[in-house]
Chains A and B, each alone.
Chain A
C-alpha cells in the first residue's frame, strides 16, 4: 500500500500550488480557483488521515463533505461579488480594484 506520507506530500504540494496561484494571479476568478485548490488539498489530507487512522470513525469523511459544501457556498458568493465588481468597474483584474487603500 502507498504510505500515508505520499498523500501528505501530495496535499502539501497542492496546497502550495494553490497558494502560489492566489498570490500570483491577477485575475479574480483565477484567485478563486487557487483557493479551491487549497481546499482540495485539505480534503486529500482529511481522506488520507481517515483511511490510515481508525476507519470506523467517520469524522474525516464527514469533515471532507462539509468542506466541499462550504467551499461551494463560498465560491457562489465569490463569483456573485466578482460579477458585481465587474458591473461597476468593467474589470476583474485584482490590481485594478484599488479604490480603497491606506
Chain B
C-alpha cells in the first residue's frame, strides 16, 4: 500500500536521487573550468534537501514502510541529516581539489554513497541492509581510487575494495545463518524469533561474530582497522575525510539498531566482547598514532581510537548509551571533517602532508591555524569544544552500565591522545619554517574552503557550549530504539 508516509519515509533519498540526476544532466553542458560549480550545486542541493526533509518529512510514531524494509523513526532521520550535512561539506571540500573537483562524476559518486548511507540508517531488514551497505561502499571504492595516475590512490582504492568485499562476505554469511535460524530477515521480528527460539548461546555468538566482522570493518575497530590508515593516506583527502566521518557513523547507526533491537536477548555474551574490542581499539589506535609522521595517517589512527570511544556507548546498552553514541558521532563528524578540511586546505597550496611541514602555519595563515587548534583540541576532548561533551556522555553511560574499567581505559587513552594532538599543534604554533620567511609562503584559503571550515568550526564550538538541544535531539533519536 502506498501512502504519504511511505513516500515521506524515503523523502531525503528521493531528493538526493533527484539532485544526482540533475547534476548528471547539467554537468556535460558546462565548460571544463565551470565543472567545479557542481560542488556548489551538490552542497546547495543537499542543504535544500535537509530543509525540505525537516519541514515536511519529520517522522512521527515509528512505523515500518515498504513491506518491512524501511523503518521511519527519529533515529534514522537524525542520522540522515548528519550524513547529508557531512556530504554537503565534503562536496564543498571537493571543489578546489584539482584532481577530483573538476569531474562531475566525483559528485555523483558522493551522492550515490550518501544515498546508501541514508538507507543504512533506516534499514529494518537484512536484505535492505546489505543492499544499502554495498550501495555505500562501491562508490567509495571508486572515489578512493579516483586519481587514476596516482600510484597511492589506485592502491588505496584496490585495498579498500579487497578488505571491504572480504568483510562483507563474512557479514553476509552471518546474515544467511540468521535467516536460517530465525526464518525471517526483518530486524524487528528477529527479536521475537531469537527470544522464543531454540538457538544456543554459542551459535548466536558465532553468528554475531560474523556480522561484527562486516560492521567492524565499516567503523574500523581493531582488529578490522588495517585498511584505514592505508586508504586514508592514499585516497584523495576529501574522500578520506568523508570515509572517516560519514561512513563510520553509518556503520555505527547500523550497529546500534541491529544490536539494540534484534539481539538484546544475547546481551551478556556480546557486550563483554564489544567492551574488550572497544578497549583494544582505543589502546592500539592511540599507541599507533604516537609514531605517525604523516598527518593523514595520524588522523586515520586517531579515528580508529575514536571508534573505540564511541563503542563504549554501544557496550552500555542503555538509553543513555544510545544517546551518547549518537551525540558522539554528531560531534565527531563535525570535528574530524574540520581536521581533514584544514589538512586539505594546507596540502592543496603546499603539496605536502607530513607533520613537519606544518611548522610555522600560525604565521602563514593564522585563521587556518586557529581552526586546526579547535579541531585538534576537540578531538583531544578539551572543553569548550564538542569532543569534550561527547566524551563525558559516553563515559557517563559506561559508568552507569557498570563498565568502570572500560571508562578508566578510555580516560587513560584520552590523556595519550592529548599528547599527540598537542604535538601537532606544537609544530603549528611554536616552530618556524626552516628559513623563517613565513610571510613569503602564505596559505590562502579559497572561498569554498573558507565557508566550509568556518561553518564546521562554529559547529564544533556550538556543540560543545550549547549542547542541550543537541543532546535533546540525540535523546529523541535514541528513544525510538526502546
Contact = CB atoms under 8 A, between A and B. Distances in A.
A2 interface: no
A11 to B, nearest CB: 8
B162 A41 contact: no
Contacts of A87: 148
A13 interface: no
Contacts of B166: 22, 35, 38
Interface string B131-171: 10010001001100100111110111111011001100110
A60 B179 contact: yes
Nearest to B176: A45
Contacts of A38: 166, 169-170, 173
B222 to A, nearest CB: 15
B157 A89 contact: no
A99 B145 CA distance: 14
B177 interface: yes
A63 B173 CA distance: 12
B184 interface: yes
B127 A62 contact: yes
Contact of B173 (A22, A41, A85): A41
A97 interface: yes
A99 B179 CA distance: 41
Contacts, number: 119
B134 A39 contact: no
B234 A63 contact: no
Contact residues of B: prevailing secondary structure:
helix
B141 A81 contact: yes
Interface residues on A, range: 35 or more
B469 interface: no
B172 A67 contact: yes
A15 B127 contact: no
B185 interface: yes
Contacts of B176: 42, 45-46, 49, 63
A39 B169 contact: yes
A101 B131 contact: no
Interface string A79-96: 011101101110000100
A84 B173 contact: no
Contacts of A81: 141-142, 145, 154, 157-158, 161
Given A49-B179, A77-B142, A59 B172 contact: no
B233 interface: yes
Contacts of A100: 152, 155-156, 159, 229-231, 233-234
B60 interface: no
Contacts of A63: 126-127, 130, 175-176, 179, 185
A77 B233 contact: no
Pick the most buried of B155, B161, B179, B231: most chain A CB atoms within 10 A of its CB.
Answer: B161
A97 B155 contact: yes
Contacts of A97: 155, 158-159
Interface string A28-52: 1001100100110110011011000
Contacts of B134: 70, 73-74
10 contacts: A15-B173, A41-B173, A63-B127, A66-B130, A73-B134, A73-B138, A74-B161, A77-B141, A84-B158, A88-B149
